Amino acid sequence: MTNENVNEKDNLILKKEEQNEKMKEENIDSNQEVNEEKEILDDKSKEIEELRQKLSDKENECQSYVDLLKRTMADFDNFRKRTQKEKETIYTDGFVDAIKELLPVLDNLERAVAHVEDNESNPLVEGIQMTLKLFKDTLQKMGVEEIKSEGEKFDPNYHNAIMHVQDENYDENIIVEVFQKGYKYKDKIIRYSLVKVAN
């Protein structure tokens, strides 16, 4: 072998070694880059996980506020309905109390008209009759109704029996006579009818 061949072989070996060295360095650099990228990815993954947790916490907090708002709105709606019902009850009670005070006036006007003879023509009597009619019409416009009684079946929800009578002309528990008329406003009794009931 010639010297040149040996040199050439040596050169090739040297070149290969240099290339190997270079590749090792590149591999080391590449590994370092991979490790750095892996660290960055790990950091980013942790950061993403933390952000997901924060988002979940905020969503839960937001949902609790939504639930609180719904409960508050429901409470307010119930309060509004209750207040409206209380107002209506107060109005109805006040109205009924006022009408109760006026009913004796109505009773007296009816008694006065009942005691007048049919053939009497007197301006005073006509005035009382007109006043009575106006009074009844006004009560009717206001929603006050007379409780039907005479000839009806006795109902303790509307009638108050103050007398019982044995009468074969009437069925049992039929109202024979009304001593004092009863009145109601909507479903509320203003005054019970005082009646005589057949047994």
pLDDT in single tens digits along all 199 residues of the chain:
555 666 676 677 777 777 777 777 776 666 777 778 888 888 888 999 999 999 999 999 999 999 999 999 999 999 999 999 999 999 999 999 999 999 999 999 999 888 876 666 788 888 889 999 999 999 999 999 999 988 899 999 999 999 999 888 888 889 999 999 999 998 899 999 999 999 8
State phi, psi for 158 to the nearest 5 degrees. Answer: -125, -20
Domains of the chain: 3-142 (3.90.20.20), 146-199 (2.30.22.10)
Q: Is 126 helix (H, G, I), strand (E, B) or coil?
A: helix
Which tokens hold the place of 9? 């072989």
Sign of CA dihedral 107, 112, 113, 115: positive
What's the rounded Cα separation, in Å, for the pair 18 and 182?
123
Residue 62 amino acid letter? C
